[in-house]
Structure 1
Amino acid sequence: MDSNQVEIQLPGGRILAKRSNGLVHVRGLRYATASRFQRPTLTENWPSPFDCTKPAIICPQRPSRLNFITGDLKLDRQMDEDCLNLTITMPESGLEQSQKLPVLVWFHGGAYLSGGGDLDCYYPGSLASKGIIVVNVTYRLGIFGFMPVDGIAPSNLGLMDQLESLRWVSRNIQHFGGDPKQVTISGQSAGAHSAFLMTIVDDAKGLFRRVILQSPPFGEVYADNGVEQLSQYAKALIGTEPQSLTTHDLLEIEVKLIAEANHMGLPLAYWPHFGRYPMPDLSESESRVSDSAKTVPVLSGWTMNEGSAFVPVQYENSLWAKFPILGTVIKSVATWKFSGRLFVWPTQEYHRKYLACGGNSSTYSLDWSPAGSTHGAVHCIDLPFLFGSWDTWKAAPMLQGTGAKEVVERVGHQVRDLFAHFCIADDVCAFRSKHFDIDEDFVFEFASQ
């Protein structure tokens, strides 16, 4: 065995991982299996040793609509429908010490259409070095995970994947030096939405103790109006033999369904649905939040110009775009309104309701962008402060401007301290009262009960 490799014995078999700079990195560890359009089944055993030293597979997907903000994050990563895997990053000392480490399980964003847990830009080595184990989850996306098709695909397959990943962590993380009773779940954008949904899903109870929500799109419409019609259209496109279609065929159908959803006025074609397993009915969501507030502390936040990632696409096709001055003003107002309506205001309202229910809730906001940037504190700009390295993010259009590297590297240490402390602290009230000197552009509100 290579001196840079380490063997870990799990109940299901042995795995090989890489170690470097005091960390152990496990990639592509299968947590569940699922045939196309079928519910996932928790992985219990595997042929050993299982090689977890290479880049992991991600769900088949088209280019992200936010590449003009983030750059291409997947960088030709291998894609396959058999993609239910975890990336686990931990201090090497955790394998040897008797005291178990806190765990952070993170769901990537991408509008339930793109992304993957093992992408280089999401490598959590600097975060894990703070004394926690970080688990990045890859789950099914788009037509493979979030399109209900009568008689073919049930709703919320991607959510079921995430739920199975939490079950796997609960059963196995102790063998990596982690404490299954100290699990925090987190995510960004659609991943934050997923983490929130886990707080109101019955089958997720007891699988985590805290939640961090980065830019949760709470303002998105939850109504299922039109979903049945879209589902019937999907059924007609897929036909009677869905297993005979290639992955490419399904991605082409995915595009057609997005176009049809736009034609129908649906905000999103691929989205979790209430009232279908594992989700409760929408009418129960308020009471579920109230119940969650009694036991699950939450840290949630947003970037001040979230809408800069979305409004330009709409604006460029508008009549106002041809007016230089007035058009710029209208674009700015539209960005402010979009940021507030979809992200900022509903997250603030969620925070207030959580406190009113007696819960522990804190919020943060990020208001920074590189000097000269036209994007502002755009959606996703918080990610480089937590994950990856400067080399994995330096080409991102949102970071083009003066002084970006210095700020990301200097402030990133403090932001990671904040997130790790939230996972580690025994007393969340003490966490809320603690002062974090992050930077004048990072505003943290620690509200009292």
Structure 2
Amino acid sequence: MRERVKATLRDGTLVGVREGGVCRYGAIPYAQAPVGDLRFAPPQPAAWRGELDATGTGTVAPQLASRLRGAMGDFDAQQSEDCLHLTVWTPAADGKRRPVVVWLHGGAWQSGGGALDWYDGSRLAQRGDVVVVAVNYRLAALGWLYVPGQTANVGLLDQEAAIDWVCANIQDLGGDPEHITVMGQSAGASSICAMLARKPRFSRAILQSAALGRGFRSARQADALGQVFLRAAGADSFAAARALPVSALLAAQQAPEVVQALRDEGSSRSLFGPVLDGQVLPQDIAPALLKAAGRADVLACYTRDEMAAFPDHGTDAASHQMGDAVFGAPSRLWARQALAQGRDAWLARFDVAPTDRFGACHCIELPFVFGTLRAFAGAPMLAGLSAAHGEQLENRTQAAWLAFIRGEAPDWPQAPHLQILA
């Protein structure tokens, strides 16, 4: 049974829905729509007042299809530049101060969205009596295009603005602003590391398959790619790019000259991502990341066969070696560095492998973390998984994740112990 519920915030009243013992407030603007003069600009504070209909689902950032859809399956979600929204799942907006977890989705900074059914937070909220927040942020050129003299990494600034909104408002939604864990996967997890290298807004982090700085570009590299991209999109200046239709920016990602420029870079990075611009992020990121590891207690995990989700890779020895170099070794190093600086750190690896083709691939842990196996029903990577096995691993995963979110410990020793989840 669905019923309407209301939550009173300092900016106005949210109208959401209660279903199955959890209240959901969707499409809450944490910043103004980044359109017109605000395209490519840092996020500006949201300006809504009065009563806001939060019964719907927010649009996700404009994007092309994910390169991982062969493993994860695809999704059908409305896209719009007006995407700086978040979704809150809470047992009740009752003044109780529950632990809070903020989710930052993956997708190589090019695809995905916090508003997807894959990341429905209702199961976590209900099972753990916690508040779950899922964030949309700008993707690809809209969030990460670098042009010298302009603000870089506005997608990262979006994420920080969302966390600031949570800190300021979550007490009116049944959460504790002083007990926030930020959880991310892949690009989302690497973004958490970048935020910890800046001004930390939290002291607990869950890092799922984080490449931990591998996707970051120098300003010189990003400028070279950005110039090729702008020409391919049909813009001779940054101002001209603000006037282009979104479709032109998306099409330019696949322009032959852009694909060639990315190939010539020889880095195997995504086309867009964090830039070491010297202002938002330091030009020399290594010492900043070392210090960052000492700023948060951490639960870090990765999967046994990370690369099997990516085109042209599988579960062979070479793919396994690459996956461990990109995701496994950095996770273990981060945990060691956190412990050395007095932090708590736990490590886990997902070995669940329903198919021979995809094995325990990148993203395989997501349905178990969120309890959303139904939303992932069409995912090729899960083909053949029995209901009993899925439920068992979901229960075990959520128990550990929720213990960490509550400020407690998973039921295994700290790093360097590596807990296998299969």
- Report the TM-score when normalising by structure 1: 0.85
Closer, same or farther: CA 401–12 of 1 in aligned 2, 3 Å: same
**Equivalent residue number for residue 398 of structure 1:** 381
**Equivalent residue number for residue 109 of structure 1:** 106
Query: What is the letter of the counterpart of residue 211 of structure 2?
Result: P
CA distance in structure 1 between the aligned counterparts of 2:198 and 2:390, rounded to whole angstroms: 35
Query: What is the letter of the counterpart of residue 83 of structure 1?
Result: C
Q: Residues 199-210 of structure 1: matches in 2 within 5 Å?
A: 199-202=196-199, 205=200, 207-210=201-204
**Equivalent residue number for residue 13 of structure 1:** 12
Q: Is the 8 Å Cα contact of residues 59 and 116 (structure 1) preserved in structure 2?
A: yes
CA distance in structure 2 between the aligned counterparts of 1:396 and 1:12, rounded to whole angstroms: 40
- Report the TM-score when normalising by structure 2: 0.90
Q: Residues 116-131 of structure 1: matches in 2 within 5 Å?
A: 116-129=113-126, 130-131=128-129
Closer, same or farther: CA 396–12 of 1 in aligned 2, 3 Å: same
Deviations 1:270-313 (A, max 9, x none): 11012444223325x425533651x4211101010001112xx2
State the Cα RMSD in Å: 2.2
**Equivalent residue number for residue 144 of structure 1:** 142
Q: Residues 227-306 of structure 1: matches in 2 within 5 Å?
A: 227-237=222-232, 238-240=235-237, 241-256=240-255, 257-268=258-269, 269-283=271-285, 285-287=286-288, 289-290=290-291, 292-293=293-294, 295-306=295-306
Closer, same or farther: CA 86–291 of 1 in aligned 2, 3 Å: closer
Please list every run of 5 or more consecutive structure 1 residues that lacks an aligned counterpart in the other structure.
Answer: 316-327, 445-449
CA distance in structure 1 between the aligned counterparts of 2:183 and 2:64, rounded to whole angstroms: 24
- The structural deviation recorded for 1:118 is 0.8
Q: Is the 8 Å Cα contact of residues 131 and 420 (structure 1) preserved in structure 2?
A: no
SS at match of 1:7: strand
Q: Is the 8 Å Cα contact of residues 149 and 235 (structure 1) preserved in structure 2?
A: no
Q: Residues 21-60 of structure 1: matches in 2 within 5 Å?
A: 21-33=20-32, 34=34, 35-43=38-46, 45-60=47-62
Q: Is the 8 Å Cα contact of residues 104 and 189 (structure 2) preserved in structure 1?
A: yes
Closer, same or farther: CA 419–356 of 1 in aligned 2, 3 Å: same
CA distance in structure 1 between the aligned counterparts of 2:391 and 2:2, rounded to whole angstroms: 30
CA distance in structure 1 between the aligned counterparts of 2:140 and 2:351, rounded to whole angstroms: 31
Q: Is the 8 Å Cα contact of residues 373 and 401 (structure 1) preserved in structure 2?
A: no
Deviations 1:12-38 (A, max 9, x none): 111110101110011110001232111
SS at match of 2:318: helix
Please list every run of 5 or more consecutive structure 2 residues that lacks an aligned counterpart in the other structure.
Answer: none
CA distance in structure 2 between the aligned counterparts of 1:137 and 1:376, rounded to whole angstroms: 29
SS at match of 1:42: coil
- The structural deviation recorded for 1:5 is 0.7
CA distance in structure 1 between the aligned counterparts of 2:326 and 2:4, rounded to whole angstroms: 45
Query: What is the letter of the counterpart of residue 359 of structure 2?
Result: G
Q: Residues 348-367 of structure 1: matches in 2 within 5 Å?
A: 348-367=332-351
SS at match of 1:389: coil
Deviations 1:125-165 (A, max 9, x none): 111111110100000000110111246x5320100100100
Q: Is the 8 Å Cα contact of residues 40 and 164 (structure 1) preserved in structure 2?
A: yes
**Equivalent residue number for residue 397 of structure 2:** 415
CA distance in structure 1 between the aligned counterparts of 2:292 and 2:306, rounded to whole angstroms: 29
Aligned length in residues: 404
- The structural deviation recorded for 1:387 is 2.0
Q: Once structures 1 and 2 are overlaid, which stretch shifts more, 222-231 or 127-136?
A: 222-231
- The structural deviation recorded for 1:435 is 4.4
Closer, same or farther: CA 209–26 of 1 in aligned 2, 3 Å: same
**Equivalent residue number for residue 318 of structure 1:** none
- The structural deviation recorded for 1:219 is 6.8
Query: What is the letter of the counterpart of residue 260 of structure 1?
Result: A
Q: Is the 8 Å Cα contact of residues 373 and 399 (structure 1) preserved in structure 2?
A: no
Deviations 1:53-77 (A, max 9, x none): 11210000000000000000x31x1
CA distance in structure 2 between the aligned counterparts of 1:421 and 1:28, rounded to whole angstroms: 28
Higher Cα Rg, which structure: 1
